Structure 1
């Protein structure tokens, strides 16, 4: 037998693909042929159009705890692809009828109770064979029973035949059930494998008992099959004859029934016509109702949209409205202090209005509207007018403030009266317009450039005038006598005392200049940075001051002038990051603000240098302390000013050091130098005073000066000593000794001088050794020359042969000893006198004489050992005798 299309998996997948997305599951799919039938008045079924290929699919859909069942009709498209044609709900299936006109029994119809027109016959479905028909019908009946809980009416199918077919075509029968009621049969088909199964037995137990009782009423003596067959034929013929007779007798009744049926048919046809008319009218009415609902929905949508549009337009118009009081204030209002609040309010409104017309705050669809563009142009014109008027007013206002202060001479330092600059009133008046500047920045950042230049130009005149008057009066009121710059001049006598006048007032004056003006400049820088809306961090913390002072707004000390109270206007002021471009612009403006004031600081430095060059050390330390306190980026010019002051002080002090070094070098040009050179004690005095002036971190400056001074002093001393070799060592040892004596105390506390102290000590020892050796050899040259010859020969010949060498015999030894050691006490006395004669420093004589005796004793001890070793038989004065002699002298 050919394979059924119900088992075609490809066909099922094609059906599932056709209904993909409906969440329905295909239970069975099978190929059929569709033909149309017409119900006639006679109730006979006729053939219609040509059959068309279709596919019937049973599908289910789970919805919650319920399951819905559908019958889908699929047709083939032009490309041979299945696509849904019709959909029937099985809950409306009322009748399943097998067409009797088809002898094969493969054609059937499905009747649904919800079809709009019952006058049109439902389509007829033709299967390939009875097995396919039975399989589909059993599947439909089972789904209706399991899913819907009821069965449609079944017409034209023998119940017993269906049950037998189900038994024969079901490999595994689990349950069977045939319920005969009014003709239809109920069966069940499993949805998984599409195999037909009979749920219950074909005949119930009660029916079977009735059939047995009926059969028991017949007592048939069946002997042979042929006799039984003949008997049945006779009975059949008798029954047929009786039936024909009964029919002939009932012919009038049949005619009456036929007439009734004809009348009923006419009534049914009339009712069908009426129902068709009513159906058409209802369809038209339904279409009218749908049209009315559609128009109603559109009208309702238009109403909602119009209401929303009106609300949006009202909001937009509110944004575009310019209040007359703000327009008047922006275009022609006064900038007096009493009207500043109105100007600020107008600025805030204008800023918000411009911001609200920008795309992020305004719907992009409104941005290109003509009204919005025109209003934005009008606001831009208002902004340009206000910025121009405000900028012109502020430029004139800054100039007028400074001109008023400069014209008042009592504001500056005068003769006999130093006056601290007080900008409290100036800043108070400027603060009035701080918020205005913030809003000008938010409206047009480019307008700040000219305003910054105007402020810097005006205030620069005031600051320079204050610094000039203060510096002039500071110098005039400081009393200090000049100290000579010829500190180390060799031509002056050593007995001349160096001028030790107190010049501390000079460095105090410089410190006062810095104390007054550096915090002022830092505060001015900070105030300018914040007042002119630079996005940089504060120079000093809120409530603090650059110089550590605190005071009220009217105090003479530097008050908290940096707190403008404007941090809440511009969000940019709270940013922790700062751009290099903003800092560069700030430093450039600070140069315009403060440039030129450094000349008055330079004048004080030069004036202090002329009075006492050593005060450069104190001023250098004071300047370094201020430099270490200036770390903020916005005070860049103040740091540059302090760096320039430090460089100028260092340069002036270096000039003093160079001049002093030239004074030292001029000593070597003298014809003859004896004793301690003049610059040795003068340097000690200079170093003592330099140490007194050291403040802060000026140690490096002084140490570098020490290195230059001492290096030149030692080099000059060596050059002078080389001018007279005979007295060179005497000059060296006396000066190195004087250097050590004069710097002993300072060398203990100053590491740089300690290093030169040790260097002088070494040089002193070397000069002493050379000088003492020269004196000893002058008196005992033959004795120690004889010893030196012996020591030289001992390297080349054996010791026992030395006494046989020319000039080294015992006789020669006796002559040398007699010549040198006879009257040795007188020779030693001559050494002392020679030593005393050459020295100009009496205090060095005792120590040098002790060194001389010790050196002589060491040399004589070496000579005595040589004699004892090489001339054992010869007698010379012993070392002990010589030691006693030296000790007695």
Structure 2
């Protein structure tokens, strides 16, 4: 409502000032055809310095128009202070009212004159130019405060996952600002602001790595970067394309870390055993000599494999699924994505185990108690039943 009222006020100022300007020019013969005439001596107190607009400078190059502007400054000496006060009221009417004020004043300065058949009032142009500088200053201060607030925000101490407040704040700002600037032809200031805020949000999410959260940090970062990426895909804002790609990349990075954290749990002792085998190979032990290492003998491998029959593996996977389901935010619907990635990584791990057995324990008749087909069946059963 405040934006509509402000636009109405600005629209009505133009014909008022233009009409008064024409009246003064006719009364005192201050038109272009009477430039040689002596302009009436007028004692004025100029409201404020004119804007350094090229169009304004050229318009004030004529002595007649300069005298007209001086007369209007005297007649409307209260206009700029009152307009500034009114803009302040409009700005305070909404948490992001400075955006509405900036668009309304900017459109009035750069767009209104082109649609008017009458010559513009250089006096009003000067006043609006000064007010526009004020609107830009308020806008920049607002963006600076938002950036600082986001960068210094701390994750809730009892956070159990979900979307961070700073991410929601960024989303609200982008949605609101896009609506406000929807019909504006000048969005350079908005593009800069959105990029600044996006960088601040990314910085805030990254700071979680050092936070003492009660849940998996990579899970929280994964969900929030995924949320930002999905939101920016919906909005399709050109200036944020790089941030959209970065959000997707960071989402995948943290999903991989999250999966790696839980991947070893279902087959913990098998993982530990084969990590030791890989360490031996990395230290230069020949593959055929690994089984002669006491800790990685054929007998030790058989003992470990015996602890993971097919039924135990399926039970462990079911436990893992419930744990992931418990902590992932349902709003993001990432469970199917994470579970599928978990399945693919589990298959890769299984192939690696088989390869190490064939490489280091060839001819020993040792094999895992479950097959690749069994694993696929376990994952499919868990997915269908949930």
Per the shorter chain, which TM-score range?
0.7 to 0.9
Using the TM superposition, give the Cα deviation of residue 680 of structure 1 relative to its aligned residue in structure 2, in angstroms.
2.9
What secondary structure is seen at the aligned counterpart in 2 of 1:668? coil
CA contact (8 A) 1:625 1:696 kept: no
1:878 to 371, 374, 380: 371
Which residue does 2:359 correspond to in 1? 869
| CA distance in 2 between partners of 1:642 and 1:814 (Å) | 84
Deviation digits for residues 686-714 of structure 1 (CA, Å, limit 9, x no counterpart): 32232222133232122122122222222
What is the Cα-based RMSD across aligned positions, in Å?
Answer: 3.5
Which residue does 2:325 correspond to in 1? 836
What secondary structure is seen at the aligned counterpart in 2 of 1:766? helix
- Are positions 1:652 and 2:103 aligned together? no
**Pairwise mapping of residues 208-227 of structure 1 onto structure 2 (< 5 A)?**
none
- Are positions 1:583 and 2:61 aligned together? yes
Using the TM superposition, give the Cα deviation of residue 522 of structure 1 relative to its aligned residue in structure 2, in angstroms.
6.7
CA contact (8 A) 1:657 1:709 kept: yes
CA contact (8 A) 1:780 1:820 kept: yes
2:211 to 723, 728, 733: 723
- Are positions 1:615 and 2:100 aligned together? yes
Using the TM superposition, give the Cα deviation of residue 765 of structure 1 relative to its aligned residue in structure 2, in angstroms.
1.2
| CA distance in 2 between partners of 1:840 and 1:763 (Å) | 18
Using the TM superposition, give the Cα deviation of residue 813 of structure 1 relative to its aligned residue in structure 2, in angstroms.
1.9
Using the TM superposition, give the Cα deviation of residue 771 of structure 1 relative to its aligned residue in structure 2, in angstroms.
1.0
Using the TM superposition, give the Cα deviation of residue 635 of structure 1 relative to its aligned residue in structure 2, in angstroms.
6.7
Distance 1:516 1:634, change over 3 A: closer
Q: Greater relative contact order: 1 or 2 (C-alpha under 8 angstroms, separation 6 or more)?
A: 2
| CA distance in 2 between partners of 1:658 and 1:510 (Å) | 29
Which residue does 2:51 correspond to in 1? none
Distance 1:800 1:645, change over 3 A: same
Distance 1:831 1:812, change over 3 A: same
TM-score with structure 2 setting the length: 0.75
Which residue does 1:810 correspond to in 2? 298
Distance 1:650 1:861, change over 3 A: same
Distance 1:792 1:635, change over 3 A: farther
Which residue does 1:709 correspond to in 2? 197
| CA distance in 2 between partners of 1:739 and 1:826 (Å) | 35
| CA distance in 2 between partners of 1:525 and 1:812 (Å) | 104
- Are positions 1:505 and 2:4 aligned together? yes
CA contact (8 A) 2:109 2:125 kept: no
Distance 1:879 1:689, change over 3 A: same
- Are positions 1:756 and 2:257 aligned together? no
Deviation digits for residues 597-650 of structure 1 (CA, Å, limit 9, x no counterpart): 4333323322321223031243133333247789xx997655443432321221
- Are positions 1:530 and 2:17 aligned together? no
| CA distance in 2 between partners of 1:791 and 1:586 (Å) | 90
Distance 1:511 1:691, change over 3 A: farther
Using the TM superposition, give the Cα deviation of residue 774 of structure 1 relative to its aligned residue in structure 2, in angstroms.
0.6
| CA distance in 2 between partners of 1:663 and 1:608 (Å) | 23
- Are positions 1:602 and 2:92 aligned together? no
What secondary structure is seen at the aligned counterpart in 2 of 1:807? helix
- Are positions 1:625 and 2:111 aligned together? yes
- Are positions 1:734 and 2:223 aligned together? yes
What secondary structure is seen at the aligned counterpart in 2 of 1:794? helix
Using the TM superposition, give the Cα deviation of residue 721 of structure 1 relative to its aligned residue in structure 2, in angstroms.
5.0
Using the TM superposition, give the Cα deviation of residue 744 of structure 1 relative to its aligned residue in structure 2, in angstroms.
3.3
Distance 1:837 1:711, change over 3 A: same
Using the TM superposition, give the Cα deviation of residue 852 of structure 1 relative to its aligned residue in structure 2, in angstroms.
1.4
Distance 1:817 1:526, change over 3 A: farther
| CA distance in 2 between partners of 1:762 and 1:518 (Å) | 55
**Higher Rg of the two aligned structures:** 1
- Are positions 1:691 and 2:178 aligned together? yes
Higher helix content, 1 or 2: 2
1:671 to 148, 153, 157: 157
| CA distance in 2 between partners of 1:524 and 1:794 (Å) | 96
Deviation digits for residues 797-846 of structure 1 (CA, Å, limit 9, x no counterpart): 43223323342222222223223456111111121122122223362222
| CA distance in 1 between partners of 2:21 and 2:288 (Å) | 92
Distance 1:634 1:836, change over 3 A: closer
| CA distance in 2 between partners of 1:526 and 1:806 (Å) | 106
CA contact (8 A) 1:522 1:638 kept: no
| CA distance in 1 between partners of 2:300 and 2:285 (Å) | 19
Using the TM superposition, give the Cα deviation of residue 665 of structure 1 relative to its aligned residue in structure 2, in angstroms.
4.6
Distance 1:713 1:510, change over 3 A: farther
1:851 to 324, 341, 366: 341
Using the TM superposition, give the Cα deviation of residue 775 of structure 1 relative to its aligned residue in structure 2, in angstroms.
1.0
What secondary structure is seen at the aligned counterpart in 1 of 2:184? coil
| CA distance in 1 between partners of 2:114 and 2:358 (Å) | 75
CA contact (8 A) 1:733 1:763 kept: yes
CA contact (8 A) 1:525 1:635 kept: no
| CA distance in 2 between partners of 1:598 and 1:767 (Å) | 53
Which sections of structure 2, spanning at least 5 residues, go unmatched?
37-57
Structure 1 moving runs of 4+ over 6 Å: 524-528, 627-630
Distance 1:721 1:586, change over 3 A: farther
Deviation digits for residues 402-456 of structure 1 (CA, Å, limit 9, x no counterpart): xxxxxxxxxxxxxxxxxxxxxxxxxxxxxxxxxxxxxxxxxxxxxxxxxxxxxxx
Using the TM superposition, give the Cα deviation of residue 751 of structure 1 relative to its aligned residue in structure 2, in angstroms.
1.0
Which sections of structure 1, spanning at least 5 residues, go unmatched?
1-479, 481-502, 536-579
Distance 1:507 1:855, change over 3 A: farther
